[in-house]
Amino acid sequence: MSPVATRRFSVVTADAMRDLGALVGRTCLASDVIVLTGDLGAGKTTFTQGLAVGLGIDEAVTSPTFVIARVHPSAGAGPDLVHVDAYRLGSAVELDELDLEADLNRSVVVVEWGGGLVGGLAESPIDVSIVRSDDDADEMRIVTVSARGERWETALADGEPVA
């Protein structure tokens, strides 16, 4: 199996977070699953907005907190985006238990707050963890992206390697 690439990015603004999301979106293929971990306000939804742009989705992405999941159809030939917010799920859950109105083989799935809550999602999910500084006024986020496969090594080459 191809190795896992783990790269760290310093993301100084919300726009830069969207740019990083867009890079990941351009690299994604149908049936990829992205698990986004980070505290409230870390920037998971902001990242997902860029992800949608990278996938070629025209619709605006907002937080799905009051629904579990939202499906954004592709404007073109690319995969749809399924945006799940696992925050309100009490325990581990499998994607197929969510009864999503989407063909997951033709979608990219992104799960906010996935860490520890969502099990059995995918054989090798793309892990994105966002950490903000203790200082609320500091907009900088440290984003660590971990993904398996050569396309990811190439796409993430600008990040700082993490051992």
Give the nearest distance from C-beta 28 to ligand ADP in angstroms: 19
Site for Mg ion (CB under 5 A): how many residues? 4
Residue 148: Cβ-neighbour burial (10 angstroms; 0-12, 13-18, 19+): middle
With binding defined as CB under 5 A, does residue 45 bind Mg ion? Answer: yes
Q: Which residues contact 10 (CB under 8 A, 6 or more apart)?
A: 140, 141, 142
Q: Where are the alpha helices (DSSP H) in the chain?
A: 14-27, 44-55, 150-155
Give the nearest distance from C-beta 22 to ligand ADP in angstroms: 13
With binding defined as CB under 6 A, does residue 42 bind ligand ADP? Answer: yes
Which of ligand ADP, Mg ion, none has residue 38 at its interface (CB below 5 to 8 Å by kind)?
ligand ADP
How many helices, marked H, and strands, marked E, lie in the chain? 3, 8
DSSP tag of 163: -
With binding defined as CB under 6 A, does residue 133 bind ligand ADP? Answer: no
CB 113 within 8 A of CB 45: no
CA 40 to chain centre: 15
Give the nearest distance from C-beta 62 to ligand ADP in angstroms: 9
With binding defined as CB under 6 A, does residue 45 bind ligand ADP? Answer: yes
- Build a one-symbol-per-residue string for 94-133: x at contacts with Mg ion by CB under 5 A, - elsewhere: ------------------x---------------------
Q: Which residues bind ligand ADP (CB under 6 A)?
A: 11-14, 17, 38, 40-46, 63, 112, 139, 141
